[in-house]
Chain A
Amino acid sequence: MIEVSDHTLTEQGLDARGSDPARVLVLACGALAREILALFKINKWDHMDLTCLPAKWHMTPDLITDGVEDVVRKHRGDYDQIFVAYADCGTGGLLEAKCAELGVEMIAGPHCYSFFEGNDVFAATAEDEITAFYLTDFLVSVFDSFFWKPMGLDRHPELLEMYFGNYEKVVYQAQTENAELTAKARDCAARMGLRFERRFTGYGDLQTALAGIPAAR
């Protein structure tokens, strides 16, 4: 399996390996790289290749739509198909419109917390869980560099109340069974002063969406 650091996924993303023998390119957020590579391996999806945009664009979603368009245009001649492994992610419908224009499929739903849980389940429970802050395996593993620091909480602990004053609990949506990550997630919740809940989601609709890509044309 490809070795790539959290730091690289956050800052730069990941380059495609090449279209031989892959016929499908999955273009994803760097925050989904590990999960997608795991799915490739588990399901023996050798016909798929992965490229990622920087995970840190999570914080600046206005960069995502143009970034996706650039990669699709760059690689579209090399593969039979490109699949965009992003949900809306705060682009306000612009990514969906762009994908439709480019003729590529994307993942349904508002964001990864929703599709990991399963979009239907998430939509049904969101209202009762409005004061929850979600963590995923990726977010837990890069919590300090990806979240705590960019939010200024390392330098200004007084900001915590301004960010999370209205929150009550952390829901750790676990993609895998991993005691170390679970312990770390619990610690993250404690640092945020929030109650902790762990919920095993597995890969949710991410798995279904990728499985739905036809193997060959």
Chain B
Amino acid sequence: MSDQEDDIILSELSDEELVPQIHDDLYDGLKEEIEESVNILLGRGWMPYDVLTKALVEGMRIVGIDFRDGILFVPEVLLAANAMKGGMAILKPLLAETGAPRLGNMVIGTVKGDIHDIGKNLVTMMMEGAGFEVKDLGINNPVENYLDELENGDYDILGMSALLTTTMPYMKVVIDTMVEKGMRDDYTVLVGGAPLNEEFGKAIGADAYCRDAAVAVETAKEFMAKKHNQMNA
């Protein structure tokens, strides 16, 4: 397999061959190959948004499915995400210039006491890939971090991540504080992380629990569509 890979000259592939090759290279976590292919497509006159969605996001979607189904494990996902990050870094500055769609603004962060960030980073990337502008607050965030950022920006969505049973309840602290301050209804609150579930999301007053990055993107889109319909009604 790897001998074969070596023989492939990316620039000699047609668009129809190169896009699936990008999916394969993402799956294998080949960062340099991804960067090269992104530059090739751009050089052929592709719109940055098309490179992003048809090549990178679609490739990561496949990785996400195989992770969910237990075919891939954490290191493979991490390598794929890292490769995608390489491609995104090239595309990001070009997206705004070329009028790519902007769906909404999101703040995301791992809650206080928790420094797991692999899942959160993946969600950030897939949300950006879908056209959301995402402010990532990183790890170990006390309630003030979330609220300060929300108050100082023009945000639609708050996303919180927790991977520890001991830190999950902190999400409720954040939501309760938002309620106290009368700002809860101004935002869609999405929560995620492996130990959470639907029931927990409901119990703490989140708008939705999302089991993975793909669901997060779909859910965020739905809420944004609802929001626009309400505004236009």
* Contact between A152 and B118, CB atoms less than 8 A apart: no
* Contact between B75 and A62, CB atoms less than 8 A apart: no
* Contact between B194 and A61, CB atoms less than 8 A apart: yes
Which of A23-31, A36-44, A124-132, A177-185 makes up part of the contact surface? A124-132
Tell me if A67 counts as interface (CB < 8 A to partner B).
no
* Contact between B165 and A93, CB atoms less than 8 A apart: yes
Tell me if B46 counts as interface (CB < 8 A to partner A).
no
Of B78, B115, B117, B196, which contacts A92 at CB under 8 A? B196
* Contact between A110 and B113, CB atoms less than 8 A apart: no
A175: B residues at CB distance < 8 A: none
Q: How far is the CA of A59 from the CA of B76 in the complex (A)?
A: 14
A2: B residues at CB distance < 8 A: none
A60: B residues at CB distance < 8 A: 70
* Contact between B82 and A162, CB atoms less than 8 A apart: yes
Contact-size category for B:
20 to 34
Tell me if A117 counts as interface (CB < 8 A to partner B).
no
Q: How far is the CA of A88 from the CA of B200 in the complex (A)?
A: 15
Q: How far is the CA of A81 from the CA of B154 in the complex (A)?
A: 58
* Contact between B75 and A156, CB atoms less than 8 A apart: yes
The residues in B between 127 and 186 inclusive whose CB is less than 8 angstroms from any CB of A are 139-140, 163-166, 168
Q: How far is the CA of A156 from the CA of B197 in the complex (A)?
A: 32
The residues in B between 74 and 102 inclusive whose CB is less than 8 angstroms from any CB of A are 74-76, 78-79, 82
A29-62: CB near B (< 8 Å → 1, else 0) gives: 0000000000000000000000000000001111
Of B115, B118, B168, which contacts A131 at CB under 8 A? B115
A151: B residues at CB distance < 8 A: 74-75
* Contact between A92 and B197, CB atoms less than 8 A apart: yes
B200: A residues at CB distance < 8 A: 92-93
The answer to whether A156 and B195 touch (CB under 8 A), given A90-B165, A162-B118, is no
* Contact between A162 and B73, CB atoms less than 8 A apart: no
Residue of B nearest to A88 (CB): B165
Q: How far is the CA of A18 from the CA of B70 in the complex (A)?
A: 34
Q: Is the interface of A mostly helix, strand, loop or mixed?
A: loop
Residue of A nearest to B196 (CB): A92
* Contact between B139 and A159, CB atoms less than 8 A apart: no
The answer to whether A90 and B139 touch (CB under 8 A), given A126-B166, A159-B79, is no
B140: A residues at CB distance < 8 A: 130
The residues in A between 103 and 130 inclusive whose CB is less than 8 angstroms from any CB of B are 110-111, 123, 126-127, 130
B75: A residues at CB distance < 8 A: 150-153, 155-156, 159
Q: How far is the CA of A28 from the CA of B143 in the complex (A)?
A: 37
A5: B residues at CB distance < 8 A: none
A162: B residues at CB distance < 8 A: 78, 82, 118
Residue of A nearest to B168 (CB): A92
Write the nearest CB–CB distance from A190 to chain B, whole angstroms: 21
A62: B residues at CB distance < 8 A: 194
* Contact between B79 and A110, CB atoms less than 8 A apart: no
A134-150: CB near B (< 8 Å → 1, else 0) gives: 00000000000000001
Most buried by B among A61, A62, A123, A166: A166
B168: A residues at CB distance < 8 A: 92
* Contact between B76 and A110, CB atoms less than 8 A apart: no
A153: B residues at CB distance < 8 A: 75
* Contact between B165 and A126, CB atoms less than 8 A apart: no
* Contact between A156 and B79, CB atoms less than 8 A apart: yes
Q: How far is the CA of A131 from the CA of B115 in the complex (A)?
A: 8
* Contact between B73 and A130, CB atoms less than 8 A apart: no
Known: A88-B165, A90-B195. 7 other contacts (CB 8 A): A60-B70, A61-B194, A130-B140, A131-B115, A151-B75, A152-B74, A152-B75
- 7 residue pairs bridging A and B, Cβ less than 8 Å apart: A91-B165, A92-B195, A92-B196, A93-B195, A94-B197, A152-B75, A153-B75
